[in-house]
């Protein structure tokens, strides 16, 4: 991941999978993943957990731009299209937020811009001392 000083860049699992954080600003983030054979499941398509992890990292980056630390309390994903190769892109955007909660939508697309999955996340903003 490029060094932007964002706390999500310390995510060892995302680095291990190969996810790159491309852009981060308040309530918004973009990430990508270059697919390889290690990302495929037993039937030769990208494993759902890989797609979820990409969307989840974009979600985490979008909702953790500012202090305090924000954590997921609910997340769901709908898989729309199977993928075997190429690059996946995730774009996360804040839908609404208040002092404690934030709702986010993430769209995962392939190289052609076709939707691979849609992800919805609900985040909880922790108190600074918790």
**Predicted pLDDT of residue 22:** 94
Asked if residue 5 has pLDDT above 60, the reply is no
Radius of gyration of the chain (CA): 14
What three-state secondary structure class fits 43? coil
Ordered by where they begin, the domains of the chain are 7-125 (3.10.129.10)
**Predicted pLDDT of residue 67:** 64
DSSP state of 39: G
What three-state secondary structure class fits 20? strand
Query: CA of 27: how far to CAs of 8, 44, 102, 108, in Å?
Result: 14, 34, 9, 17
Mean pLDDT for the chain overall:
91
Mean pLDDT of 20-42: 95
**Predicted pLDDT of residue 19:** 95
Asked if residue 123 has pLDDT above 60, the reply is yes
Neighbour-count burial of 67, counting CB atoms closer than 10 A to its CB (0-12 exposed, 13-18 middle, 19+ buried): exposed
């Amino acid at each position: 991941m490029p060094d932007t000083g964002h706390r999500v860049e310390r995510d060892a699992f995302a680095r291990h999978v190969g996810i790159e954080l491309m852009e981060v600003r308040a309530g918004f983030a973009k990430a990508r993943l270059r697919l390889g054979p290690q990302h495929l499941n037993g039937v030769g398509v990208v494993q759902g957990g890989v797609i979820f992890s990409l969307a989840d990292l974009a979600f985490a980056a979008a909702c953790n731009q500012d202090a305090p630390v924000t954590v997921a309390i609910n997340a769901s994903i709908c898989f729309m299209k199977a993928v075997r190769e190429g690059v996946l892109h995730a774009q996360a955007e804040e839908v609404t937020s208040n002092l404690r909660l934030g709702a986010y939508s993430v769209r995962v697309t392939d190289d052609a811009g076709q939707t691979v999955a849609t992800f919805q996340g609900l985040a909880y903003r922790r108190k600074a001392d918790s």
